[in-house]
A and B are shown apart, each in its own frame.
Chain A
């Protein structure tokens, strides 16, 4: 990239050429505009606080220029140094980056350097309550789109010098700032190195959301399961870092990514930490049950009612008989209709404004629940099954996991409608097998299963009282994630 000219006007010309067509590009001359000691301040209008710039900074500079003798350039520079933190730039590219980052840049004739100072003037959202990860007890602040505010929220909670932060700039055009946060004494260096490498390898033009980072750093692109946990809660980030996780925070996204995450962590909300442990574990068991229900609910119903009638108790089967008579569709089609209708309804009520969303869901529930049954399109038991499955999937707090389960429901239904319990069991085998095969940076996705030590496994699935919860050892050699070959998979199965 080109370095700067000594002549300010040449630099200005160059910048003007680069910013042709961008009306936000603004420049102001400082002092007398004679050719020898020309100085220009350049900034992007609306990114920079123009009012402060004009009323305070430029005024101060002009004053200093009038009061002091000596070369105008040096005076201006001294004056700028008294005003704040100055970055020295030597290339056009750097100037562009700093302009985009809410800096104003001072170019002085005769200097081959430019001077930038941050003066952000754009508005950001104030800190709000969490919108997605609601809780009853525990902190109630959520991340915003502003990285600085988010970092503040996290750093306020950990005061250890072990907290490390590494920044990346991702996106060729967007130049988005991304921070990697971790506690140095608890993080597995192997995972950290690998993650660093993956972060470096990201090739994007514009980074809109942390989702893009997630896609780039995950291991299996085509798996339906989310492999990176995202959260909008700073307290969850802190808990995760305390467990040796690495947190990725992206500017412009109110979500932090937590890596490496396991399936069981995605199954439980952070609120579990703040409940009495009996109740928290009760909830965890409930969620394990609803996990199974939401995955195989309709398939199981299909298997029972079309293949394995003997398993339904006789009185119940009599009820089913009368409920199902006159329904024109096979059970499988019926289930498919209801499932799709349910998904449509869910999607509709989610996208609408909150007040309207509620009315849509009420209308939809009425239509699906009553009208469909009344008109003989679907049977009552099917409505119950689909509703149960839907409600069960809502108990899984992490949206992406719930989506994965919802998607997998459909192939399982197909398989079951073909061969009953046989299809269901081999379908489940494939699902379990796939989940077991997933890894993130070598760390198992289904973590406690397959790693050694049943005590630790139980601690990872269930929640002991706070004083017995797993504390990571301080020594890096005795890290919780042991340095075992089977734990890290380095090669391919078949080459």
Chain B
């Protein structure tokens, strides 16, 4: 059993906040054990320690996960688990600052932002446009036209989903623009 469970709702674009959150927890003696979507973090009680947490998004090549993890292990990172295609790593903050990063140039930091956008945001947008929006319309029309209570209930569920998605798109969209700007501004330019 975990000693503490916290709920934090962080979206796919909030990984830098998540890294800070997990480091703060560890500093207070709460070592991350497990993370379950949509936001349940369970911790074990340990001695307080400064441990850096880092997240990488879906970078391992197809069938190459072991080699990918070995690279991180070689660099002294402990691999925790994968959730939602994010790989979680941690390392005690004792070595030089350079060694506490998993990316050493802005091109690769931007690469991660792009992967999140292409592999997470675009599929969500497709689900939204092809399922949530038409279903909501159909159910609401059935309800208003035919007075079917079941359609009304479904319609309301879809409307709630619709609102959730819109909130998510606005939040993540803004965040992606911010991250892009942050790393493109400082970027070493090109390849």
Partners in one complex: no
* B residues neighboring A (CB under 8 Å): none
